[in-house]
Structure 1
Amino acid sequence: MLSDRTDPPPPDNPHAAGVIPKVVPPLPRQNLRARNLPWRTAFDWLRAGWSDLWTNPLPSLLYGAGVFALSILVVWGLFQFRYEYALFPALAGFMVIGPLIANGLYEKSRRLELGEEVGLAGMILVRPRSGYQALFMGVLLLGLFLLWLRAAVLIYALFFGMVAFPGTDELIPMLFLTPTGWALLLTGSVVGALFAAFAFAISVFAVPMLLTERADALSAMGISMAMVWANLPVMLAWGATVMGLFLVSVATAFIGLVLVFPVLGHATWHAYRNIRTDDRQTGESERMFIRPA
């Protein structure tokens, strides 16, 4: 006689009631933006930038001279209109807008890569493929720069109260010979470094991308940050190189910018081409926000 009793399913059956299925580890996912470049690759970019500088050097040197003149004009204006307190924040802010100013240098390196010639006019009157999106990104970076200036004023008020800036004669003793000044320098350096690192990450590859690809500014900034994060060791080395050479330029009263700025601009293009290879060019799946006109 057959029994009506039904045996329970085996315990390893995932469909059994009350039985938790086995946890299966996720499949490894390849990061398509990671190039696994050693940190020394940053010096290869620097050498490539040096080579681009001395290939038809006059336009690049004139471009660097223009950046030098602009820097002197900004410093003169700060002292002329009694905004000396904004000098150090303005120097740090140069790292925020620097990639945008170097757009003409990217254009020269791009044309050299294609075997074309380019003069100073072609470097200044650049037509980014993304059109107005490059201008929109400039507005965003300018807003970030102004936000940093406001943060610097708030940090000063936090340590010295709502008092007028003492002037340049008392600035050095106030900052370097008092505990409050040391705390201000430390806090300002940390906050400024965060602003500079964020601006570097969102713009270092976004500006060349907008020059050569049809993408919107927000997508370009997001992709730039992803590229930096996926190649962090070499990008940390490159960021340190940029910062070190900029400090050398400041120590030479900005004269070094005539040479340093073109080299860094050309080298940044090679960094972009090294990481943003042809088979990873922006497609529809990477446009996260809007389609450029």
Structure 2
Amino acid sequence: MDKPLNSLDRHFHLPHVRRVEADRPLMWLRMGWEDMRSSPAASLGYGALFAVIGYLILAYAARMPYLFTAAISGFFLVGPLMAAGLYEISRRHERGESVSFMDSLRGLQRHGDHLAYYGAFLAFALIGWERLSAILFALFYHETASPDLANFFQDVFLSGHYAQFVVSYLVIGGAIAGLIFALSVVSVPMLMDRDADIATAMMSSARAVGHNLGAMAVWAGLIVALIGIGFATMMIGMVFLLPLVGHATWHAYKELIE
């Protein structure tokens, strides 16, 4: 197993990955909370901005259940890129530099090229997932009309009438989400912090996940739970929870990547 990794190191100069305990994500959240407390205006500004954008997207998709579910799951796919400004806030706070919303935007501008390329990768992933979601609905949901969104989870996910659809949706969606998570969990913070290319950042992220499966499983579960609360509160909770997760992700990167 060491030989392939050493070969990757020689060709891509991958940084060393630290191993952490499975409960370490709880400390990342605590440190993220401290960052948010230190710069509440800038942090909550990002939270409010993306909560509004998320609400508008969900409102647009409300009458199309397949698109609505794809939009919710797609939010998790693009989340790492959306939080780039929050990583910059944490980076500046760590270095004792001035921290404001405008300061974070200047940080995004400095890394605009790499973030744009990474955004293109996520856009392809999101479009692919939206198309797969539509295909799954077409294959397994044979009613003449789409289910009412208010009763969607009861009619489709909880009734037991669409078990094939539910299993297929969760398996395929989970596989895509797991792959994107592995490639992105620390890659965007790394792009914000170092002069690294996208391939190096993504491979470093995948290695960090592979070396810390327990901690990464806990971290993924916490992200899903916290962002899920944000959706359950009609995006109001997202104003606070998205910055918390974003800042915590920065600290995850700093601990995992040497």
Normalising TM by the smaller chain, what interval? 0.7 to 0.9
Report the CA distance between 1:161 and its aligned residue.
Answer: 4.2
Q: Which residue of 1 aligns with 2:60?
A: 77
**Cα distance change, pair 74–173 in 1 and its aligned pair in 2 (3 A):** same
- Give the conservation status (yes or no) of the 8 Å contact 1:130–1:213: no
Correspondence for 2:26 among 27, 40, 43: 43
Say whether 1:55 aligns with 2:60: no
Report the CA distance between 1:178 and its aligned residue.
Answer: 4.2
- Give the conservation status (yes or no) of the 8 Å contact 1:210–1:217: yes
Matched residue SS, 2:117: helix
The runs of 5 or more residues in structure 2 that have no matched partner are: 10-14
Alignment of 1:53-202 (within 5 A): 53-79=36-62, 82-127=63-108, 131-161=112-142, 163-168=144-149, 171-176=152-157, 178-202=159-183
- Give the conservation status (yes or no) of the 8 Å contact 2:47–2:240: yes
Say whether 1:224 aligns with 2:188: no
The runs of 5 or more residues in structure 1 that have no matched partner are: 1-25, 278-293
- Whole-Å separation in 2 of the counterparts to 1:68 and 1:98: 12
Report the CA distance between 1:223 and its aligned residue.
Answer: 1.7
TM-score (ref. length: structure 1): 0.78
Report the CA distance between 1:256 and its aligned residue.
Answer: 0.8
**Cα distance change, pair 162–225 in 1 and its aligned pair in 2 (3 A):** farther
Q: Once superposed, what is the RMSD of the aligned Cα atoms?
A: 2.4
**Cα distance change, pair 173–45 in 1 and its aligned pair in 2 (3 A):** closer
Say whether 1:238 aligns with 2:219: yes
Structure label with greater radius of gyration: 1
Report the CA distance between 1:172 and its aligned residue.
Answer: 4.4
Considering fraction of residues, name the structure with more helix: 2
- Whole-Å separation in 2 of the counterparts to 1:65 and 1:130: 23
- Whole-Å separation in 1 of the counterparts to 2:158 and 2:29: 38
**Cα distance change, pair 164–143 in 1 and its aligned pair in 2 (3 A):** farther
- Number of equivalent positions: 249
Report the CA distance between 1:59 and its aligned residue.
Answer: 1.0
- Give the conservation status (yes or no) of the 8 Å contact 1:109–1:266: yes
Fraction of identical pairs, as percent: 33
Report the CA distance between 1:166 and its aligned residue.
Answer: 4.0
- Give the conservation status (yes or no) of the 8 Å contact 2:88–2:108: no
**Cα distance change, pair 213–241 in 1 and its aligned pair in 2 (3 A):** same
- Give the conservation status (yes or no) of the 8 Å contact 1:159–1:180: no
- Give the conservation status (yes or no) of the 8 Å contact 1:228–1:235: yes
Report the CA distance between 1:36 and its aligned residue.
Answer: 2.8
Report the CA distance between 1:97 and its aligned residue.
Answer: 0.2
**Cα distance change, pair 177–203 in 1 and its aligned pair in 2 (3 A):** closer
**Cα distance change, pair 167–85 in 1 and its aligned pair in 2 (3 A):** farther
